[in-house]
Amino acid sequence: MAGPDGRLRCPWGLSADDYIAYHDDEWGRPVHGDDALFERLCLEAFQSGLSWITILRRREGFRRAFDNFEIASVARFTDADQERLLLDEGIIRNRAKVEATLANARALADWTPGELDTLIWSYAPDGATRPAPRTTADVPAITDESTALAKALKKKGLRFIGPTTAYALMQACGLVDDHLNGCVSRAAAPSAAVADGP
């Protein structure tokens, strides 16, 4: 669909003003770094059962609440911190999701630096074998790779991650490029990377 600037974008990227910058500058672009990937993993888990716009509009609140998703810092959160988070109106106050975020940070704190990045990116499919989707109906919700990634993360002790969440993570972090054929961001996605950190 043509946006206000006349450029073609995926239809969802024009469904709300908040989506345009996210669609154009982030979604589908390679993300590296354990903390940056931890943030995306957490946000995708919080999104489960909700619309992404709800998460996007609270992203700065999440960053404040979870110390910019620095794994080492979140791993030190106490029971008192957990209760504080459950009262924080700047985030989604879902006890199971908050508990999973803290548990995941504690698990990841024991990993070797760079291990999360390496593990996640090891499940990136060969882009040359994936044709550009022509419509949103061509975009899958899960794939064999996302199913395997979810299983690998669970085996390593991470919670609240299933094949659908894993695939959303893969889309958001550029492991796959699901911008539609003709979308202005499809050509841009492979050449730009998002650095570690917010």
| β-bridge mates for residue 31, sequence order | 194
- For 154, counting Cβ atoms within 10 Å of its Cβ (0-12 exposed, 13-18 middle, 19+ buried), the class is middle
- Please pick, among 19, 26, 27, 52, the residue that the annotation labels catalytic: 52
Using alpha carbons, select from 88, 84, 178 the residue that is nearest to residue 131.
178
**Contact between residue 153 and residue 161 where contact means Cβ atoms under 8 Å apart:** yes
**Which residue's entry shows tokens 């709300």?**
16
DSSP string, 116-139: HHHHHHTT---GGGSPPPSSGGGS
Asked if 22 is an active-site residue, the reply is: yes
Asked if 115 is an active-site residue, the reply is: no
- Please pick, among 44, 123, 145, 167, the residue that the annotation labels catalytic: 44
Q: CA 5, 7, 8, 12 torsion: positive or negative?
A: negative
**Contact between residue 92 and residue 54 where contact means Cβ atoms under 8 Å apart:** yes
Residues forming the active site = 22, 44, 52
